[in-house]
Copies of this chain bind each other. A is one copy, B any other.
Amino acid sequence: MSKLTLEKIAELSGVSRSTVSRVVRNHESVSPNVRKRVLGVIEETGYQPNAAARSLAGQRANVIGLVIAEPAQSLFTDPYFPLLIQGVTQATNDYDQTLTLFLFHNHSDEEKLSPRIIRNQLVDGLIVSGTHVDDPLVPQLIESNIPFVLVGRHEDPRVSFIDVDNVTGAQSAVNYLIRLGYKRIGAIAGDLKNRGAIDRLDGYKRALRSRGHRVDETLIINGDYTEFSGFQAMNQLIEQEVDAVFVSSDGMALGALRALSENGCSVPHDIAMVSFDDIPAAMHAKPPLTTVRQAVRRTGAMAVETLLDILESGATPPRRLALPTELIVRSSCGGTGG
């Protein structure tokens, strides 16, 4: 079949190019019967507007970009990004947007790709996740005037973001441990280049302080969100004789559990554990993990909705949202969960 263009549809329905365009965009006034006729032809022929021409001529391409600026180690270890991608694609499908994925595997990718992303005009706007604190990408994006939504909060007041309330979530988890009577509560933190990891650790500290406990830095071990780093960190913590641990992600908690079991420690009998994320595997761990649930898919979908809103109504005022978390009680702390 020959290539379908606006012009061809116009010809077939006996109107002009402009009118067909108006019908397709569903804008401005077109008389009902002309509209119906044109829609009929479009339906029949299966016409789809050419995206490239569209974005060349007008301002919108209906393409949004998802940037994952993570050096990607945990990309497959941890289901966070897959879930985020799911949420984002779900929403882009619903809103008839096309998704372009930019995944930085290392710094040179970042340097190579970011100018392209910014000046290419391939995308109408961007959803940006996995950035580190002080990531140079964010200021670059601000300066370039490209509309974008960050996943995770940011200090700059001009930035729109969707955040998960990590501080409060972590705080509630640690409060729960304190309430159950644990005294010597360690923490396994995530990669502290990461805003979320910082906030979770901050929540841990706040909970301790607000209940009159001292924060003992020797009880805080840094990991990097991988299962293995959780394993290593837990092995260090065991020597500190903690009676409970707050682990910043379920993925690391799984590693921590493995370390404990290899050392003959029973959970929660010898050491209690709370973690963060509520990934599917958390429920099936041994013992099932008490963990702070964050709605990752929801976050992705919200990011898309927020970006589309910005695209339609402008970037000011910046949209700043914090999604709540929920403590899912299972048996890894003893207590109510059984």
Contacts and interface: CB of A to CB of B under 8 A. Distances in A.
Interface string A57-86: 000010100100000100111010111011
A4 B53 CA distance: 19
A103 B119 contact: no
SS class, residues of chain A in contact with chain B: helix
The bracket for how many chain A residues form the interface is 35 or more
Counting every copy of the chain, the complex holds: 2
A263 interface: no
21 contacts: A48-B119, A50-B120, A50-B121, A51-B52, A52-B52, A52-B54, A56-B56, A75-B82, A76-B82, A77-B79, A85-B85, A85-B101, A89-B103, A89-B105, A93-B103, A93-B109, A98-B102, A99-B101, A100-B100, A231-B284, A258-B286
Given A48-B119, A50-B120, A98-B116, 12 more contacts: A50-B121, A76-B86, A77-B79, A81-B82, A85-B103, A93-B103, A93-B113, A99-B100, A100-B101, A101-B101, A231-B284, A258-B284
Interface of A: 4, 46-56, 61, 63, 66, 72, 75-77, 79, 81-83, 85-86, 89-90, 93, 98-103, 105, 109, 112-113, 115-116, 118-122, 227-228, 231, 255, 258, 261, 279-281, 284, 286
